[in-house]
Amino acid sequence: MASALAACSQGAPAAPADLRVASATAGRVTLQWRDRASDEDSVHVERSLDGETYVELTALPADTVVFSDTTAPVQTTVHYRVRARNAQGASAFAGPIAVVTPAWWAPSFAPASWVLGQLGFYSAKDNFGQPPTENSRVEGSMAVADGKFFMVDSGNNRVLVYDEMPKNSSASATMVVGQPDLRSGGGGQELGQFQSPSYVKVVDGKLYVMDTGNNRLQFWNTIPTVPGQPADGAFGRITSGGYCVPYGLNRPLGFTVAAGRLILADSDNNRVLIWNQVPQGSGAEPDVVLGQAGFTTCASNDDNQDGQFSMQASARTLSRPTDVWSDGTRLAVVDQGNHRVLIWTTFPTQSFTPAELILGQRDPRLNACDDDDQDGGRDLRPSARTLCGPAMIEGDGNQLFVSDAGNHRVLVWSTFPTMSFMPADAVLGQSDFHHRAYNDDDQDGRTDLTPSPRVLYNPGVLFLYRSWLFVHDIMNQRLLAFEARQPE
């Protein structure tokens, strides 16, 4: 009652009116309202995810009548309300109103909004062998934390750190991890040095970098603040042999942390390792292994666990897994050598658990590239449900994205797959599901002389952040950023 009286006290500004949602796309909700006061000092926007507990998002200048919330979670009911303030008090609220935010969306063959690593969309300049700079090279994954943007530069054995999200190739990093300065690029084996790093994540304030060439995952307990800062520890170890042991990694690639677990694709050991709790030190052995029955067998597609490679896959074997995704309940693994993605709809807690769903193949025994008719051989063209050398995976819990590198495209499932061999709903890099040539903007089935904003050449790492999908376009040596759009 006291707060209501304060809101209506004499001298407080009149409340805004007619609060409405002007637009809603993935990661962005734009609000509009009518200003009814002439004496407010500021306008305050509040948001709630449960309709009861509100948190102030921003304080805007007087007379403001529009605001875009760029941190709105996707596919969520979000509540908003707005009020004015002056020195005498606060007005009543306009609202609340509720909106269900859409998931990430873009039409097939959508062009990227901006590029990093090249001077423009039509350039694929080779910058290999050149001295590193603050913005050269794009080779690996990305992460965002505390407003900073982290990007792996594998060829220069470093992670570049930008103070804010870069929007073009003129953006320059301000800090570097793995090197003493932004002009150095040599590799090393000491903690804090890299040999061909591939993947970066920030989880609970800790920085993790997959040091692929040194067969280890390095971690910093706090975000490094000076170049060359040593890591606090590493999982795995540098070795010239004996990889097929619990602590041995062999060309490890994608990893994630979900529901307190560390999940890691140990690619050349043909397995996925799972720690039920993220280790606090370097010596903890994993709790669960997928793709193998134990920690001392590492052969590809070894269903009978005799230590021998097999040409035939199964629902519980792996061949060169490259990436993992999990929301803590579900788990998806890119099984590159078998041209498929394996999905566990309930998180596996036992080693050698078979996957429940498969994308890219209908029969768990088959593993041919682009085999839509499932006869065991490659078809003349891909389809919406086939894969060829998939590289990386990303998702928001509702949609799923897979970089289908061999077909130079990114496949998009607009709802999380619920059955095996489920076709994708949209594609980036091609105009339809049947084209496969790289850099083929005119879609005549032949490679063009230059790339463009909507083509890809061996796409790799994917990173979803707010309304942006970032795609590492490997052979075009660039990072493309695709922005979600409102369906027309």
247 compared with 321, residue with greater pLDDT: 321
Give the count of beta carbons closer than 10 Å to the beta carbon of residue 380. Answer: 8
Give the pLDDT band (50/70/90) at residue 398: confident
171, pLDDT greater than 90: no
Q: Classify residue 97 as exposed, middle or buried by CB count within 10 Å of its CB (0-12, 13-18, 19+).
A: middle
Most confident of 112-126, 425-439, 460-474: 425-439
Give the pLDDT band (50/70/90) at residue 7: very low
347, pLDDT greater than 90: yes
pLDDT attached to residue 237 = 77
Q: What is the pTM of this model?
A: 0.85
257 compared with 72, residue with greater pLDDT: 257
37-41: Cβ within 8 A, 24+ apart: 37/13, 37/84, 37/91, 39/13, 39/86, 40/13, 40/84, 40/85, 40/86, 40/91, 41/85, 41/86, 41/87
Mean pLDDT confidence for 49-76: 91
pLDDT attached to residue 138 = 62
CA distances from 308 to 224, 300, 302, 367 (A): 43, 8, 6, 17
341, pLDDT greater than 90: yes
Q: Can you tell me which residue has the tokens 């908003």?
A: 80
Rounded Cα–Cα distance for residues 460 and 141 (Å): 9
Q: Which two tokens stand for residue 259?
A: 């529901």
Give the pLDDT band (50/70/90) at residue 135: low
CA distances from 469 to 169, 242, 250, 301 (A): 17, 38, 29, 32
Q: Which two tokens stand for residue 115?
A: 């590029």
Give the pLDDT band (50/70/90) at residue 5: very low
344, pLDDT greater than 70: yes
Percent of the chain with pLDDT over 90: 76
Percent of the chain with pLDDT over 70: 94
Strands (E), 104-245: 114-116, 142-145, 148-153, 158-162, 175-177, 199-203, 206-211, 216-220, 233-236
Mean pLDDT confidence for 361-384: 98
pLDDT attached to residue 111 = 96
Cα-to-chain-centroid distance, residue 421: 23
Rounded Cα–Cα distance for residues 255 and 326 (Å): 10
Instruction: Compute the mean pLDDT over every residue in the chain, rounded to the nearest whole number.
Output: 91
Of 96-100, 235-239, 403-407, 420-424, the least confident:
235-239
Pairing type for strands 216-220 and 206-211 reads: antiparallel
